[in-house]
């Protein structure tokens, strides 16, 4: 499997800005995902994702300088992400990847990373209430 940290050197910054622009163009019209994004203007979110991906795929660490450690699972806890949101997110990312002309091994490595990362960020179980009662905290019987 191709080492993801070699990908930025091949593609350059511009590809990641193009990728995230295409991705957020899709998100901006998505009725499931758009309400999750707190800011009216998605440019800030686009730029944060671009800088993060540039860093992840082996480029400059500007994301870390601006935002610190990514802690992506923690940062996504504020947003309800179930299987439907993950699949919608991945659908926009795959469509955005289609706009880049990627070598097959690069595409495969990027697909694999996004699938794993998106599944890791799922924080809501299907069919469960949004907030479960805290484990171990029981309410006394009413009788
Ligand atoms: C699974 C579906 C996902 C949903 C619904 C989702 C949603 C969001 C939302 C609502 C934000 C806040 C936007 C903002 O920064 O203003 C955000 C931030 C972010 N997301 Fe996601 N996301 C998902 C998956 C991913 C994945 C797979 C990655 C990485 C590969 C990622 C990387 C980021 C980054 C880097 C930020 C900015 C973090 C920061 O510095 O504050 N997200 N995401």
Average pLDDT of the residues in 70-87: 97
Cα 140 to averaged position of ligand 1 atoms, centre (Å): 40
Pocket of ligand 1 contains residue 90 by CB under 6 Å: no
Among 38, 138, 121, which residue's Cα sits nearest to residue 87? Answer: 121
Give residue-wise pLDDT tens across range 25-67.
999 999 999 999 999 999 999 999 999 999 999 999 999 999 9
Q: Which two tokens stand for residue 120?
A: 């890791």
- Nearest protein Cα to ligand 1, atom 39: 48
CB-CB contact of 44 with 85 (8 Å): no
Q: What kind and span of H or E run contains 53?
A: helix 43-56
The domain spans of the chain are: 4-120
CA dihedral 100, 106, 109, 110 (to 10 degrees): -20
Whole-model pTM: value is 0.90
CATH of domain 4-120: 1.10.490.10
Of the candidates 90, 99, 98, the residue with the CA atom closest to the CA atom of residue 122: 90
Q: What is the mean pLDDT of residues 2-28?
A: 98
């Amino acid at each position: 499997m191709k080492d993801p940290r070699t990908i930025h050197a091949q593609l350059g910054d511009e590809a990641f800005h193009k990728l995230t622009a295409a991705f957020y163009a899709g998100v901006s019209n998505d009725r499931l995902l758009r309400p999750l994004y707190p800011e009216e203007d998605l440019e800030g979110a686009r730029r944060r994702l671009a800088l993060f991906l540039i860093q992840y795929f082996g480029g400059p660490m500007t994301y870390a300088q601006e935002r610190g450690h990514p802690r992506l699972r923690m940062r996504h806890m504020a947003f309800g992400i179930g299987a439907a949101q993950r699949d919608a997110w991945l659908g926009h990312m795959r469509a955005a990847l289609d706009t880049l002309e990627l070598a097959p091994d690069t595409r495969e490595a990027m697909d694999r990373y996004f699938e794993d990362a998106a599944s890791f960020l799922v924080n809501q179980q299907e069919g469960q209430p949004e907030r479960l009662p805290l484990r171990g905290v029981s309410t006394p019987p009413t009788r």
